[in-house]
Amino acid sequence: MPQIVFLPHEELCPEGAVIEAEPGVSVLDAALQNDIEIEHACEKSCACTTCHVIVREGFDSLEESDELEDDLLDKAWGLEPESRLSCQAVVADEDLVVEIPRYTINQVSERH
């Protein structure tokens, strides 16, 4: 079973985490099942960017993002080439290393 390594995040998983994930489950669902509370304001409907993650390893094992996800990612804070919405990134058969950005677009707008 593939593993997802979550890099340390100050609030959500300060020590980082290594979890097992069934192929076919989204990165977000795998995180939530393991008490890593990634924000998901649109309830996983691919309508916001609050579940944005950066896939540091294993990115190429994920199915390609669709146009809707790409359009939303353009609005994400801290966008990188390996950025995905964790509600849309489905675990395949390779291990992943995932970074949860320090801020979401909601947090950035609340701080300014």
Instruction: Name the residue type at position 71.
Output: D
pLDDT of residue 106: 64
Compute the distance between CA of residue 47 and CA of residue 41 in angstroms, rounded to an integer. Answer: 9
This model's pTM is above 0.75: yes
Burial of 84 (0-12, 13-18, 19+ CB in 10 A): buried
Sole residue written with tokens 């489905």: 90
The total of structural domains in the chain comes to 1
pLDDT of residue 86: 98
Residue 56, SS3?
strand
Instruction: Name the residue type at position 31.
Output: A
Helices vs. strands in the chain: H and E counts, helices first: 3, 5
The answer to whether 3 and 98 are in contact (CB under 8 A) is: no
pLDDT 10s digit of each residue in the chain, 112 long? 999 999 999 999 999 999 999 999 999 999 999 999 999 999 999 999 999 999 999 999 999 999 999 999 999 989 999 999 999 999 999 999 999 998 776 654 444 4
pLDDT of residue 105: 63
Instruction: Work out the end-to-end distance of the chain between its first and last CA atoms, rounded to an integer number of angstroms.
Output: 42
The CATH number linked to 57 is 3.10.20.30
Domain that holds residue 100: 3-111
Burial of 38 (0-12, 13-18, 19+ CB in 10 A): buried
